[in-house]
């Protein structure tokens, strides 16, 4: 029987190692030789990798002018609010990791959106007590208090070089918004695809469409004067210009007009938070990533740690054996996510227990090497005592070894689709990431429980996973991606591809990806996997479906001699690495 041959193959190629750390010393990041099929961009004095090349170049220019990685990241973040309006933002939120080379310190900045003070547990339930997804996705009830401006300002004030004022870092974004920018193929296409949603809102339509409802053609010029004025106000008065006064009033009014409950007081009381990163190890490397309310860091570490007991290289990259092991570790990590993860300011998240090595080895030993698990048979583990495809990510490293890994979002493409009139700011619909009711999936199919229930001033759980990888205390990789629920699986795969299969960042970024998230009961394979691999996986009991290209991984590897090797995901037109 074919199933018996598959089982024998898996047992032979991926036997469980009871002492996984024995493999750690042999696993190192690859040396870029120049003989690879895909080649990264190289630079010596600094690099920015983002989803939009003009924003990358703005960050690069700041590095050239004496800024550090944080300065460049802040400039890039504000620029993306102009050049990549579907995901770059002032009206959303996200997470930033900062590594300071001089002190070897890594800081996590949580600028995730919060629920308004008037939010309630049952705000997304209809009159019959059932979850109504339209309330969290298509109305102002889905809009969280935005954190991006506060988060970027905090990063600049606390960790910037001191060579640039906040106004100087915002200046390039102001120029692009006020003077207009040339519309790329990617921007024209995305506005065309989103036109049905965006044209419902006159305040949005007047900025991005002509009188006939057509998106601007590639090569034409697009100005965003209201956004330019908002950026100018922030440049002149700091983040207070966004969170207090006229801009805040306009945002709150727009949210309430769309059915929400946000007030200007909600904006004025918003604060980003400094948190301790979550840390784990994988084959001799230290993985440092975002803690809750991002679930990303914990589950990237969980997936990698469960994989550590298997010889992935022997199984062959993206073979049925390899994909089966990835799938089974992901099932278990996402099951834990649904049960234990939430805003740590509101619930007790057992971080240490979730990444405990003995716990994860025990979870890995429940994997059947011959057949797929049924998700119904997998639940969150018994602990030892103790996010949208339209997100965006950028990575920065400077000449001194300081680094930033930043992921931020509006949730859906263009968020709620509504621009707060007179501000140029798209409103997010990020509160859809709450669990409207236990067991009810969000827009990305992720299931949550009471730990991630809506509540006043609470941050919804996220999958965003900005990540650093260190070897012997030295920074080796800065990485991250958008992709909704797939962020976690893509980040883990990229790290494993570089550590286990000796890929350079360009090869890892281009490699076909798979995804499983416990529920729904589907193994997604991106185009690029062989038909034979898909058939073998189906024979093992996996429900295989084709997954369209997703994600926009932005990775920068630091080589042994300090040379930087960066790669932007080829799946997204217009992305780019800028170095010097």
Residues involved in catalysis: 391
CB 52 within 8 A of CB 575: yes
State residue 103 phi and psi, 5-degree precision. -105, -5
Question: Beta strand 514-515 with 425-426: parallel, antiparallel or unpaired?
Answer: unpaired
Show the DSSP H helices in 180-258 as ranges.
185-193, 195-198, 202-208, 225-237, 240-243, 246-257
C-alpha–C-alpha distance, residues 406 and 389, integer Å: 15
Which tokens hold the place of 133? Answer: 């997804």
CB 430 within 8 A of CB 93: yes
Residue 104 region, left (φ>0) first, then alpha (ψ -120 to 50), else beta? left
Residue showing tokens 């189906």: 538
Going by C-alpha positions, the residue among 500, 57, 182 that lies closest to residue 313 is: 500
C-alpha–C-alpha distance, residues 303 and 360, integer Å: 9
- The helix/strand/coil state of 518 is coil
C-alpha–C-alpha distance, residues 22 and 36, integer Å: 29
C-alpha–C-alpha distance, residues 456 and 46, integer Å: 42
Residue showing tokens 């199984």: 315
């Amino acid at each position: 029987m074919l199933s018996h041959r598959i089982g024998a193959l898996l047992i032979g190629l991926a036997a469980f190692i009871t002492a996984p750390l024995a493999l750690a010393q042999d696993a190192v990041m690859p040396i870029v030789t120049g003989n690879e099929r895909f080649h990264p961009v190289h630079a010596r004095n600094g690099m920015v990798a983002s989803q939009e090349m003009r924003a990358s170049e703005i960050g690069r220019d700041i590095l050239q002018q004496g800024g550090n990685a944080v300065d460049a990241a802040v400039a890039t973040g504000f620029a993306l609010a102009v050049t990549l309006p579907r995901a770059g933002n002032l009206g959303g939120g996200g997470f930033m990791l900062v590594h300071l080379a001089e002190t070897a310190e890594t800081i996590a900045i949580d600028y995730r959106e919060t629920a308004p003070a008037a939010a309630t547990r049952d705000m997304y339930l209809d009159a019959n007590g059932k979850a109504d997804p339209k309330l969290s996705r298509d109305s102002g009830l889905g809009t969280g208090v935005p954190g991006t401006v506060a988060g970027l300002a905090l990063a600049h004030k606390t960790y910037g070089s001191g060579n640039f004022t906040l106004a100087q870092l915002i200046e390039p974004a102001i120029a692009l918004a006020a003077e207009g920018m040339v519309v790329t193929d990617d921007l024209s296409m995305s506005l065309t695809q989103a036109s049905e949603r965006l044209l419902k809102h006159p305040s949005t339509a007047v900025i991005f469409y002509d009188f006939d409802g057509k998106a601007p053609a590639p090569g034409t010029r697009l100005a965003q004067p209201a956004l330019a004025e908002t950026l100018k106000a922030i440049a002149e008065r700091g983040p207070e210009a966004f969170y207090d006064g006229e801009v805040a009033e306009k945002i709150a009014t727009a949210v309430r007009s769309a059915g929400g409950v946000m007030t200007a007081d909600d904006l004025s009381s918003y604060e980003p938070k400094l948190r301790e990163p979550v840390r784990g190890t994988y084959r001799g490397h230290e993985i440092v990533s975002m803690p809750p309310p991002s679930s990303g860091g914990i589950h990237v570490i969980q997936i990698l740690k469960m994989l550590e007991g298997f010889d992935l290289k022997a199984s062959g990259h993206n073979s049925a054996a390899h994909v089966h092991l990835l799938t089974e570790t992901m099932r278990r990590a996402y099951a834990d996510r649904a049960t234990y993860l939430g805003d740590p300011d509101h619930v007790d998240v057992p971080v240490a227990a979730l990444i405990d090595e003995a716990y994860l080895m025990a979870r890995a030993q429940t994997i059947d090497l011959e057949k797929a698990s049924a998700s119904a048979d997998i639940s969150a583990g018994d602990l030892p005592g103790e996010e949208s495809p339209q997100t965006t990510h950028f990575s920065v490293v400077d000449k001194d070894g300081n680094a930033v890994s930043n992921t931020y979002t509006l949730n859906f493409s263009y968020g709620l689709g509504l621009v707060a009139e007179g501000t140029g700011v798209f409103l997010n619909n990020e509160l859809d990431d709450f669990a409207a009711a236990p067991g009810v999936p969000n827009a990305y199919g992720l299931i949550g429980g009471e730990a991630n229930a809506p509540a006043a001033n609470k941050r919804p759980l996220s999958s965003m996973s900005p990540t650093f990888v260190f070897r012997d205390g030295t920074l080796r990789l800065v990485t991250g991606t958008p992709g909704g629920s797939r962020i976690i699986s893509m980040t883990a795969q990229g790290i494993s591809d570089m550590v286990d299969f000796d890929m350079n960042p360009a090869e890892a970024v281009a490699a076909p990806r798979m995804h499983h998230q416990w529920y729904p009961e589907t193994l997604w394979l991106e185009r690029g996997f062989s038909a034979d691999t898909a058939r073998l996986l189906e024979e093992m009991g996996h429900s295989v479906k084709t997954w369209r290209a997703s994600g926009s991984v932005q990775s920068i590897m630091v080589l042994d001699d300090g040379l930087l090797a960066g790669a932007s995901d080829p799946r997204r037109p217009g992305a780019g690495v800028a170095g010097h």
